[in-house]
Amino acid sequence: MGLVHGPNHPLVLLAKWYEKFFGRLSHLNLCVTNAMREDLADNWHIRAVTVYDKPASFFKETPLDLQHRLFMKLGSMHSPFRARSEPEDPVTERSAFTERDAGSGLVTRLRERPALLVSSTSWTEFEQLTLDGHNLPSLVCVITGKGPLREYYSRLIHQKHFQHIQVCTPWLEAEDYPLLLGSADLGVCLHTSSSGLDLPMKVVDMFGCCLPVCAVNFKCLHELVKHEENGLVFEDSEELAAQLQMLFSNFPDPAGKLNQFRKNLRESQQLRWDESWVQTVLPLVMDT
């Protein structure tokens, strides 16, 4: 509200007073980061309990057969998902990343496939990035979401002359978004948080799909993205480009960092939203 109307707008001042006054009177306050909990205690004199956002149960790794179906579906509308070459067997079904054997129906990944990078954005001035495509490996970058500057940034993207990068900006059906995250090789997050006190839900969803992430750094990001453990943190476009070169230099590389990050995410056995509610929030509510 303050970003839209300014910090001294009457509605903003009223909302701030309302939250500050009544927040002190409640029996229980919940917040989504330790940084927010400390800010509430220091500046508002409100005690709160940190309950981190968790992904819904449908954010999970996508089986290879479903990946192929998704790629074929998206390929009918977006050229980066289409096969780079025709299969030798004309009955074989091929996307840019996978192919289905005509006889057995078995789906396999293509050895020479590009890497699939996904970024979800609200297309605002708070999520900006200028990336030079030179010297980057073969990538298909899928940028999802809608927002006020979508057309502006789409025009900038199409003006670029990337050597090895294909970009598409689809508007996905709700059920296809988690399937895409569960099929991707890397997620990129440009969210910087206007307050610096909350965490990007898009990364929570990506981690639910065991998808490693490169995320732009801000105040409390370390509470979610563990640098060199479940992803990488960058400060600017140059650092992101260097990270992409490093992560995809020998793609697909079973021994590379991407697979190690994914392995760490699998082993972390993250709670889902409903599980977190039952284990963390419900006992607090019952005790009040």
Per residue in 251-268, pLDDT (tens digit) is 988 889 999 999 999 999
The listed range with the strongest mean pLDDT (21-25, 70-74, 122-126, 158-162) is: 70-74
With 0-12 / 13-18 / 19 or more C-beta atoms within 10 angstroms meaning exposed / middle / buried, residue 68 is: buried
3-class DSSP assignment, residue 75? helix
DSSP state of 177: H
The stretch 70-77 carries a mean pLDDT of 96
* Chain segment 173-186, per-residue pLDDT in tens: 999 999 999 999 99
At 1 the pLDDT is: 85
Q: What is the pLDDT of residue 130?
A: 57
Residue 144 Cα distances to 92, 168, 194, 224, 230, angstroms: 29, 8, 21, 22, 22
Confidence of residue 213 (pLDDT cuts 50, 70, 90): very high
- Token representation of residue 32: 């989504």
Q: Where are the domains of the chain?
A: 1-54+272-287, 64-268
Residue 124: pLDDT over 70: no
Nearest to 272 by CA among 59, 83, 54: 54
Q: What are phi and psi of 119, to 5 degrees?
A: -135, 130
> Could you give phi then psi for residue 120, rounded to 5 degrees?
-105, 125
Task: Calculate what percentage of the chain has a pLDDT beyond 90.
Answer: 66
Is the torsion defined by CA of 237, 241, 197, 119 positive or negative? positive
Q: CB–CB of 10/2 below 8 Å?
A: no
**Average confidence score pLDDT of the chain:** 89
Task: Give rounded-to-5 percent helix, strand, coil for the chain.
Answer: 40, 15, 45
Q: What does CATH list as the number for 64-268?
A: 3.40.50.2000
Helix (H, G, I), strand (E, B) or coil at 145: coil
Query: In the block, which residue shows the tokens 């508002």?
Result: 44
Q: Mention every residue, 6+ apart, whose C-beta is less than 8 A from residue 157.
A: 143, 167, 169
Query: What amino acid is encoded at 244 in this protein?
Result: L
- Confidence band, pLDDT 50/70/90 cuts, at residue 126: very low
